Structure formats: structure tokens, C-alpha cells
């Protein structure tokens, strides 16, 4: 439709993104410009700045603000906004209600530190949710809802059962996910490592996102969130890792990471079973999780749990079992080293991201199907008296812990439980938050920097050495009674591949 004499039109970010999608589908820029009443040159500018526009949008943790936002111009109080969001997220993850006056007072404090904007800054509610804090979607919170409210749980449970029945979803199409922090080098407080804290490795934290359906026949690959964008210990081919590696400056979950990991894996699983493209993902209403509208794709949808931990399946002991299994592997490695006469702390320092990834992925694989299935009982079974937590046999953790110097007298699960609880996110002070925001402003983001404690000093192996090693491994496996045909075939494949690469490298040299 022709616009006649064109007036100046400024479109929203959302409209520009939609126009770029149409260009991708093959529509002409002339047609799009005519319909939107803008010049063809303007549409061309959007296309030329596509990468800049998409990067700006990917930094937003919610798409809600894109409907009204018309430019990528930074907020006048950009640092205040970012610091305020970090404070808000931290307090909400602790289950604390955050009200306007508290945020306003904190914003005034940050504004003085950063010396941004005008001197008469009042930290109005409108300012608080502007700029980067369009991420702070307004969640209705009251004191009663923050408690483990049995009445609210039963109401949600009844509605959930009605939804499943009305949509005809099978148990294979119902999922739950949750994330947990993991201080992967942290030992119990009674160990000698803590007594010699000055020389002991510090707490190095990552976040693990775990997801499974109710029948446990589809456990998605763990999402592993570290700080470094490209840890030196990881191989170049990160696609070969048993987890999906992501990075974030604090190794926290954010909504940019949360989006996009669920759909491809679930679609592939549904297709393999000839099931309709329909699924329900049950998640909690954490600030790091995007708005419901951002996570809907056809008949694949998201349901937010009420603000209570009564019925979160992954909270029913699954993630605790995962961490216990990981710590068994960590302690086993340390004990083997001390048996050889080496220092435990020296070995602990050499533990890197690659070690952690393989240990945690192996732990996820080892979780028994009945453990995952039982975690859904509170939510799926109509028997209201089903309240027990998931229990899986991790009896070997206590004997292993007693072999660590300083923990010989540990004889109950209380110390182990305290050890597990210390993984939770450490609270950032205002000073920490200000330092993080200023660090980002100087271009020294943590996700671009290698962790100095995560160096991989392994020398590159030549193709000839690889062939000899693989041939030795193949000969060993073939002699073992536990070996399967798949094991032998896999090793033969890598032997053949190493031989080809060795021969090719030899030809290039000659």
C-alpha cells in the first residue's frame, strides 16, 4: 500500500528485526520499505547493520523492551542499570522480595559511585525498568508466596493435571530443568586445604543446567556455564564435548543462554519416537529465565512453577545426587595422587575445566532412571502424602571423604550436606558489583579472559605417537572380557583415522 508523501517514521527494534527476517526469506527491500513507509535506503541500513543490531538484541535478557525501544542508544545510567540488575538477580535467587523503594535507594548509591547522569537523579521506578533493566519483568511477590505454601502447591498441581489431560500430553513430553552452582575445587571446611587456605586453590564456580523428561528416557546434555569464552584446556572441537559449553562473565545462568538450548534436542527426540511436536517444560520463575512468550514454539510451551520449592522435580534430590557423584570422582583423583606420594593441593590446582566437564557429564549419565522418575512423584501422583525426597546410593562418598587429610573423623552426613550447600552462589558485595561493571566498561570481560588456574600444559601429540597409543589401546581392549563390539569398532575407527592423518602429514612434508 502506497504511503503518499512520506513522513519521517521511526520504527521499533522489533519491527526492524521482523523486516530483516522477511529479507532472509527472499522479500525485496523495495516491497518492505513501501509497506513500512520508510525509504529503501533505510531498509538497506538495517541490513548493513544486521550484526550490530543482532548483537545488541542478544545482550538483552528479555524481548519485551524491544516493542517500544527504537534505537540502540545506551541508557544514560547504563552502569547504574547493570549494577542494579546484578543486585536484583542475586537477591531474588535467595528468595527475597525486592520492592521499589529498596531498588531506588540502591540505585542512588550506585549512581554516586559511578557518577553517571544528572546530579538530580531521583531513581524513579520508570528509570529502574528502563535500559538494560527491561529484563526486570514485574513478578508479583508477597511474603506468603515466598513460603513453601502447601495450598498454592496443591492448586498448581491440580491445574497442571488438567492441562496435561486437556492437551493429551504423554509423560515422555513433559520436562523439567533447573540449574545449580558448582564450586568444582572446593573441599569440606575440615580439610587441611582449608587450614592452609593461603596456598589452597580458591573457589572456582561454574553453573550446571540439567533437564530430563518424566520417564527419564530423554536426559538432555548438561549445559555447562563457565567464565572463559575459550578455556585453554578445552579442545578446539568443542562440539565433541559431552556437555553444551556456554560462557558468562560470572558463570551464572542468564536468559540469553537459557533461550535456544531446549527446542532442537526435544524436537529430535520427538521425531525419533514419531510423537507429535508437543512438549511442556516446567521451570521456576527465576529472574534468569526469559518471559513465557519467548519460550513458546507452536505446541512446545513453558509453565512456570509457583514461588515454592515443594514440587520442582530437579530439587527433589536429583541435583544433589549429581554433585555427590561428581565429588566422588574428584576425591578419588586426589586420593590416588596422595597414594603415589604426591601433594593433594598440587593435584587440586591442576584440575581444569576439561576434567570437570567429563566428570560431571559422567555423573549425569550414572544417575539411575528411577531417581529421575521418582523426582516427579510430588507433581504427578495424586497421592498428596508422597513427600519423600529422592535417595540414590552414594555411600562411597563418606569413606572417600574420610581418606582426605583433616576429615578422618567425619562420620555422618551432616558435614557432607554442609559441603553440598556451600556450592550455592556466593553473595556479591556492592564493591564486587561495582568492580564487575567497571571491568566490563574497560573491555576486560571475564568471558574473554582465560582462567589462570585453567591452563592445559599437555604437549601436542604427533600423529605417529597417536597411532602407537591407539593401537596399544585397541590391543588392550580386545583382551578384556568386558569389551563390546562397539568399543572395538570405535577404537578401530580412530586408529584408521590416525593412520590416514599420519600418512597425509608425511606426504606433505616430503
Kindly report the CATH number assigned to the domain that includes residue 267: 3.30.420
Residue 316 shares a structural domain with residue 252:
yes
- Print the SS3 string covering 136-150: CCCCCCCHHHHCCCH
Q: Which of 37-41, 282-286, 420-424 has the lowest mean pLDDT?
A: 420-424
Q: Is a pLDDT exceeding 50 seen at residue 452?
A: no
Residue 147 pLDDT: 45
Residue 115 shares a structural domain with residue 160:
no
Cα distances from 331 to residues 202, 440, 450, in angstroms, run 17, 36, 26
Structural domain harbouring 131: 78-138
State the pLDDT confidence band at 236, using cuts at 50, 70 and 90. Answer: low
Tell me what percent of the residues of the chain surpass a pLDDT of 90.
Answer: 15
Residue 323 pLDDT: 93
Residue 223 shares a structural domain with residue 257:
yes
**Into how many domains does the chain fold?**
3
Average pLDDT of span 290-298: 73
Residue 67 domain-assigned? no
Tell me what percent of the residues of the chain surpass a pLDDT of 70.
Answer: 69
Residue 318 pLDDT: 92
Residue 83 shares a structural domain with residue 115:
yes
Domain endpoint, select from 387, 421, 455: 421
Q: What is the CATH number of the domain that holds 105?
A: 1.10.10
What rounded mean pLDDT belongs to the chain?
A: 75
Residue 360 shares a structural domain with residue 492:
no
d(CA 477, CA 492): 11
Residue 217 shares a structural domain with residue 298:
yes
Q: Is a pLDDT exceeding 90 seen at residue 11?
A: no
Residue 333 shares a structural domain with residue 350:
yes
pLDDT digits over 299-344, tens only?
Answer: 888 888 886 557 889 988 899 999 999 999 999 988 887 765 567 7
Residue 223 domain-assigned? yes
Residue 445 pLDDT: 42
d(CA 209, CA 221): 9
Residue with more model confidence, 106 or 423: 106
Residue 47 domain-assigned? no
Residue 93 shares a structural domain with residue 165:
no
Residue 36 pLDDT: 86
Domain endpoint, select from 138, 163, 183: 138
Residue 209 shares a structural domain with residue 259:
yes
Average pLDDT of span 175-193: 81
Q: What are the φ and ψ backbone dihedral angles of 165, each rounded to 5 degrees?
A: -65, -40
Residue 133 shares a structural domain with residue 167:
no
Domain endpoint, select from 100, 117, 138: 138
Residue 439 domain-assigned? no
Residue 119 shares a structural domain with residue 159:
no
Q: Which of 87-101, 164-178, 324-338 has the lowest mean pLDDT?
A: 87-101
pLDDT digits over 130-160, tens only?
Answer: 444 444 444 444 344 444 467 778 888 888 9
Strand pairing partners for 440? none
Residue 206 shares a structural domain with residue 105:
no
pLDDT digits over 239-263, tens only?
Answer: 678 999 998 877 877 777 777 788 8
Q: Which segments within 142-261 are labelled E, that is strand? A: 174-183, 205-213, 223-226, 244-247
Neighbours of 137 (CB within 10 A): 18
Residue 1 domain-assigned? no
Residue with more model confidence, 409 or 163: 163
Residue 110 domain-assigned? yes
Residue 28 domain-assigned? no
Q: Find the helix or strand (DSSP H, E) in which 418 lies.
A: helix 413-421
SS3 43: helix
State the pLDDT confidence band at 47, using cuts at 50, 70 and 90. Answer: confident
Residue 49 domain-assigned? no
Is the four-CA dihedral 360, 258, 377, 306 of positive or negative sign? positive
Amino acid at each position: 500500500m502506497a504511503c503518499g508523501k512520506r513522513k519521517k517514521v521511526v520504527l521499533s527494534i522489533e519491527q526492524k528485526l521482523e523486516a530483516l527476517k522477511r529479507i532472509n526469506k527472499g522479500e525485496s527491500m523495495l516491497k518492505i520499505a513501501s509497506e513500512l513507509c520508510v525509504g529503501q535506503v533505510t531498509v538497506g541500513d538495517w541490513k548493513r547493520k544486521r550484526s550490530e543490531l543482532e548483537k545488541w538484541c542478544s545482550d538483552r535478557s528479555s524481548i519485551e523492551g524491544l516493542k517500544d525501544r527504537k534505537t540502540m542508544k545506551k541508557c544514560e545510567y547504563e552502569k547504574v542499570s547493570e549494577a542494579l540488575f546484578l543486585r536484583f538477580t542475586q537477591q531474588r535467587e535467595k528468595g527475597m522480595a525486592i520492592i521499589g523503594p529498596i531498588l531506588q535507594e540502591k540505585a542512588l548509591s550506585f549512581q554516586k559511585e559511578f557518577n553517571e547522569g544528572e546530579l538530580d537523579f531521583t531513581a524513579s521506578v520508570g528509570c529502574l525498568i528502563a535500559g538494560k533493566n527491561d529484563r526486570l519483568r514485574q513478578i508479583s511477590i508477597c511474603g506468603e508466596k515466598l513460603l513453601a505454601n502447601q495450598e498454592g502447591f496443591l492448586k498448581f498441581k491440580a491445574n497442571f493435571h488438567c492441562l496435561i489431560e486437556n492437551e493429551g500430553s504423554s509423560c515422555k513430553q513433559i520436562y523439567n530443568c533447573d540449574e545449580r552452582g558448582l564450586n568444582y575445587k572446593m573441599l569440606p571446611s575440615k580439610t587441611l586445604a582449608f587450614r592452609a587456605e593461603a596456598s589452597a586453590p580458591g573457589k572456582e564456580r561454574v553453573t550446571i543446567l540439567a533437564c530430563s523428561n518424566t520417564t527419564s528416557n530423554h536426559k538432555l546434555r548438561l549445559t555447562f556455564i563457565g567464565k572463559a569464552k575459550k578455556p585453554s584446556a578445552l579442545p578446539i572441537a568443542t562440539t565433541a564435548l559431552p556437555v553444551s559449553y556456554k560462557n558468562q562473565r560470572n558463570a551464572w545462568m542468564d536468559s540469553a543462554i537459557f533461550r535456544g538450548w531446549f527446542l532442537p534436542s526435544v524436537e529430535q527426540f520427538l521425531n525419533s519416537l514419531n510423537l507429535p511436536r508437543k512438549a511442556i517444560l516446567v521451570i521456576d520463575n527465576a529472574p534468569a529465565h526469559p518471559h513465557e512468550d519467548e519460550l513458546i514454539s507452536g505446541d512446545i510451551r513453558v509453565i512456570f512453577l509457583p514461588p515454592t520449592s515443594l514440587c520442582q522435580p530437579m530439587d527433589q534430590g536429583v541435583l544433589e545426587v549429581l554433585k555427590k557423584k561428581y565429588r566422588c570422582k574428584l576425591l578419588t583423583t586426589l586420593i590416588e595422587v596422595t597414594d603415589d606420594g604426591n601433594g593433594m593441593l598440587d593435584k587440586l590446582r591442576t584440575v581444569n575445566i576439561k576434567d570437570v566437564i567429563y566428570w560431571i557429564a559422567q555423573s549425569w549419565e550414572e544417575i539411575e532412571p528411577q531417581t529421575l522418575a521418582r523426582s516427579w512423584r510430588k507433581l504427578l501422583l495424586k497421592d498428596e502424602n508422597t513427600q519423600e525426597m529422592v535417595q540414590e546410593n552414594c555411600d562411597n562418598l563418606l569413606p572417600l571423604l574420610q581418606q582426605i587429610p583433616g576429615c578422618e573423623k567425619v562420620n555422618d552426613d551432616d558435614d557432607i550436606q554442609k559441603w553440598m550447600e556451600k556450592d550455592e552462589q556466593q553473595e556479591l558485595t556492592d564493591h564486587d558489583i561495582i568492580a564487575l561493571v567497571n571491568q566490563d566498561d574497560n573491555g576486560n570481560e571475564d568471558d574473554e579472559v582465560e582462567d589462570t588456574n585453567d591452563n592445559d600444559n599437555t604437549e601436542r601429540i604427533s600423529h605417529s605417537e597417536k597411532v602407537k597409543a591407539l593401537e596399544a589401546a585397541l590391543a588392550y581392549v580386545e583382551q578384556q572380557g568386558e569389551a563390546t563390539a562397539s568399543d572395538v569398532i570405535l577404537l578401530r575407527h580412530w586408529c584408521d583415522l590416525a593412520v590416514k592423518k599420519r600418512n597425509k602429514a608425511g606426504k606433505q612434508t616430503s
